[in-house]
Amino acid sequence: MSRINGFVGRRNLLKLLGVGSAGIAATAAGSVLLSEDKAVAQQQSTPVQKPQPVSPDAAIKRLVEGNQRFVEGKRLNPNQSRLRLQETAVGQYPFAAILGCSDSRVPAEIVFDQGLGDLFVVRIAGNIAALEAIGSLEFATAVLGAQTIVVLGHARCGAVSAAIKGDPLPGRIGIFVEDIKPAVESIRKKTGNIQENAIIANVQYQVARLTESSTILANLIKEGKLKIVGGHYDLAKGKITLLT
């Protein structure tokens, strides 16, 4: 039977007691709800304890396993209970940070099967390492204790496509596209699908920018407290492939 933060899931409780035992089930479910309310009330008055930090490799493993559950349709939806809501209202200790694209089809918590307070997510079109993104990731790692950063690109990225075409763009759209063009130019003469090559090259380029542009991140890496890796998300399959 599944448990969420120590509590039996309500649906599983009803299944356990049987459809014909509606009265008993209602009473038992009420007791579970009462217990949960008491636990939440207690949590509100108890300071949250900072968890022991995981290693960068353990953080990456946790992300990979979560994505595998997502791909297989076996999501656990962890850390999404009312109790977790109260815990994270007091403080946050994300184990990983994600620099992802703003694309609506790539929500990090869902595709990695994580919950409240697990991930510090920075989303910007083209998953570029803009100055604001770098500062946010410095905060996530140096202050909040995230042990890994994943720069997450994805298939059929519109920002990368725009950088490949190189056409003039209205408003401020061209600002983030300019930050992708160096990656595109590095693979112009490479054989194969130029868009997919450019998407991967852009991820690798932004990973390099993070370490080259931030003394804080570079020092954390030297101390063995942080790893920065790239990832490619397949929109059709939901699979994330880590890039070296």
40 and 60 inside one domain? no
Distance CA 17, CA 13 (A): 6
Supply the pLDDT for residue 155. 98
Supply the pLDDT for residue 48. 55
Supply the pLDDT for residue 37. 53
At residue 7, the 3 state secondary structure works out as strand
Supply the pLDDT for residue 216. 98
76 and 179 inside one domain? yes
28 and 63 inside one domain? no
CATH no. for residue 222?
3.40.1050.10
Supply the pLDDT for residue 204. 98
Distance CA 182, CA 187 (A): 9
Residue type, 187: I
- Distance (Å) of CA 220 to CA 36, 63, 208, 230: 39, 20, 15, 17
137 and 228 inside one domain? yes
136 touches 92 (CB < 8 A): no
- Distance (Å) of CA 121 to CA 70, 117, 208: 18, 10, 19
19 and 128 inside one domain? no
Supply the pLDDT for residue 80. 94
All residue ranges of the chain with pLDDT < 70 are 1-49, 52-53
216 and 108 inside one domain? yes
Distance CA 119, CA 149 (A): 10
112 and 26 inside one domain? no
35 and 154 inside one domain? no
Number of structural domains found in the chain: 2
Supply the pLDDT for residue 3. 40
- At 215, phi and psi to the nearest 5? -65, -35
At residue 1, the 3 state secondary structure works out as coil
**In terms of residue numbers, what domain contains 145?**
56-243
93 and 10 inside one domain? no
210 touches 134 (CB < 8 A): yes
Distance CA 112, CA 70 (A): 7
Closest CA to 194 of 231, 222, 226, 166: 166
Supply the pLDDT for residue 42. 52
Distance CA 130, CA 140 (A): 15
Query: Is residue 93, in this structure, part of any structural domain at all?
Result: yes
